[in-house]
Chains A and B, each alone.
Chain A
Amino acid sequence: MEITEEELRKMSPAQILELQKKNCIFCQIIAGKVPSKKLYESDIAIALLDINPANPGHAILIPKEHFQIMALMPEETLGEFFVSAKLISKAMLRALKAEGSTIFAANGTVAGQRAPHFMLHIIPRFENDSLNIEIPQLAASHDSVLRLLKAKIGEVFGSAEIGEAEIGESTEIINLTKKPEEEFEMNRELIMEEREEAVPKEKKEEKPKEIERKKPVGNDKKPGSGINLDDLAEFLGGKHG
């Protein structure tokens, strides 16, 4: 069905959202109209194997309702969603003998979001898997943003206790090169515990042959200066819808 820009302009936000849902591949997967490798389903979300996995077992967790970005999810749904993420991560440690997991979400195309349906990536990790998706440690200064954040934080968090961070204080760098070996060892032991708890001892390990393939680069589009979440959502959806 072809829709002209003229028609699009006349549509109400509700109609546009309806249209986005109809055209959303993930909504179609959830409705069972498009086949997928489903790992798990709850009342609010499904988990699938990613078709372009960073590692074998790379899963995506998708809310059943069409939310364009995380911020549009109701708080309760969001909580349940991440509890599912924890269990999927745990399953990776146990069933795939993963040595860790990367949990990754992108809100907005500049953050790497490719589809207008919010999703969470849960990637099983292995020592030396060379994924290079770690957060770079650059000791960026927060001086430019701390005042702005503190001005708005009360509004976002309501009555909760707001911290004591002061401007200038956060730039204090404390021996960052120090790596407490004991803590690392503890981390490793915990991962091993999780892995070994449920996995039968004599299961043979998979060593899949890795052939790397370039992923198509997401088309970048400059977002407007508006920072209203609804606008952002509309922008995200409109772009793909």
Chain B
Amino acid sequence: MAECEFCEIRESKKELLFSDENIAAFLSRNAAVPGHTVIIPKQHFTILEQIPDSLVRQMFQAANKFSTLLFEGIGAQGTNVIVENGNAAGQKTAHLSVNVLPRAQNDNLNFQWQPKKLSEAQSGMVEVQLKSELDRSFQEPEVDEPKLVEKSEETIEHSEDDYLMRQLNRMP
């Protein structure tokens, strides 16, 4: 594995605010605002889709606690919880992290996007595509890896054959 900044932080422990068996948290080295907290799985996962469900739960439960900590501990007026999943989403370190940012009036941060105007056909198409994929994936729930400390195996899903047919059937 190439050297990973977050794995280094995890191993050196010096910067950690919190750690338990499976996750660690620290203040961002390149923070958007003071108190910008980063929560990582201890095991090196690159994208969210690789992370077992039980670990996803733990990471976001910790993120929620950090959000509370920022409200109560430093008087944040709001918080953002942000995951940049993949290079295209602006992910800077190839170790998936959950960012929790304290917010205040006039803090010069702005995460507002410009809405895109889609035609009925366009939004209908993405709706059908997402729906049929979700129907499929929820019928095949992930089997959690019981031991997170060990190297997890890739979960591979098999039944892809009738995907197109089903999508066609769903067309209005």
Task: List chain A positions with a Cβ less than 8 A from chain B.
Answer: 37, 39-40, 42, 47, 49, 52-57, 59, 70-71, 73, 75, 78-83, 86-96, 98-113, 123, 125-127, 129, 131-146, 148-153, 156-157, 160-166, 169-170, 172-174, 176, 179-180, 182-184, 186-188, 190-191, 194, 197-200, 203, 206, 208-215, 220, 222-223, 225, 227, 229, 232
In the complex, are the beta carbons of A99 and B87 less than 8 A apart?
yes
Find the A residue at minimum CB distance from B18: A163
In the bound complex, CA of A210 to CA of B123 (Å):
12
Hey, what's the 0/1 contact readout for B135-156 against A, CB within 8 Å counting as 1?
A: 0111000000000000000001
Report the separation of the CA atoms of residues A148 and B91 in the bound assembly, to the nearest whole angstrom. 29
Interface residues, chain B, CB within 8 Å of chain A?
2-5, 13-20, 24-27, 29-36, 46-51, 53, 56-61, 64-94, 99, 101-105, 107, 109, 111-119, 122-123, 125-127, 129-134, 136-138, 156-157, 160, 163-164
Point out the residue from B18, B56, B122 that lies within 8 Å of A161, measured CB to CB: B18
Closest Cβ neighbor of B13 among chain A residues: A164
Interface of chain B: mostly helix, strand, loop or mixed: mixed
B residues near A213, Cβ cutoff 8 Å? 114-117
Which residues of chain A have C-beta atoms less than 8 A from B30's C-beta? 137-139, 173, 176
Name the residue on B nearest A100 (C-beta): B86
A95 close to B111 (CB less than 8 A): no
Closest chain B residue to A223 by CB distance? B77
B14 touches A86 (CB 8 A): no
When distances are taken between beta carbons in the complex, the residues of chain A under 8 Å from B2 are 180, 182-183, 186
A30 to chain B, nearest CB (A): 17
- Contacts A208-B122, A213-B116 supplied; 6 other A-B pairs, CB < 8 Å: A94-B133, A144-B34, A161-B18, A183-B46, A191-B88, A215-B113
Neighbour of B48 across the interface among A86, A129, A141, CB < 8 A: A86
Q: Which residues of B contact A104 (CB under 8 A)?
A: 80-83, 111
Would A174 and B35 count as touching, CB distance under 8 A? Answer: no
* Contact A161:B19 (CB < 8 A) given known A110-B103, A190-B50: yes
Interface of A is mostly: mixed
Let me know if B127 and A170 touch, CB within 8 A.
no
B133 in contact with A198 (CB, 8 Å): yes
Give min CB distance, B69 to chain A, whole Å.
5
Q: Which B residue's beta carbon lies closest to that of A106?
A: B80
Chain A to chain B contacts (Cβ below 8 Å), 11 pairs? A53-B123, A86-B56, A94-B133, A101-B85, A102-B83, A103-B81, A123-B113, A145-B102, A183-B2, A227-B75, A227-B76
Q: Is the CB of B85 within 8 A of A100?
A: yes
Name the B residues within 8 Å of A92 (CB-CB): 130
A75 to B32, CA, bound (A): 27
Chain A residues with CB below 8 A from B130, complex form: 39, 49, 57, 59, 88, 91-92, 95-96
Of chain A, the residue at the smallest CB distance from B113 is A54
Closest 7 CB pairs of A and B: A100-B86, A108-B78, A163-B16, A79-B57, A134-B90, A111-B78, A183-B94
Collect the chain B residues with CB atoms within 8 Å of residue A108's CB: 76-79, 103
Query: Contact: A145 with B74, CB < 8 Å?
Result: yes
CA distance A129 to B107 in the complex (A): 25
Whether B71 pairs with A227 at a CB distance below 8 angstroms is: yes
A71 to chain B, nearest CB (A): 5
Chain A hits for B99, CB < 8 A: 135
Query: Which residues of A lie under 8 Å from residue B48 when comparing CB positions?
Result: 86, 89-90, 101, 103
| Nearest B residue (CB) for A143 | B34
Distance in Å: Cβ of B25 to nearest Cβ of chain A: 7
Q: Is the CB of A40 within 8 A of B19?
A: no
Residues from chain B with a CB closer than 8 A to the CB of A132 are 113
Task: List, in ascending order, chain A residues with CB within 8 A of B36's CB.
Answer: 135, 140, 142
Residue pair B14, A56 in contact (C-beta under 8 Å): no
Q: How far is the CA of A237 from the CA of B36 in the complex (A)?
A: 26
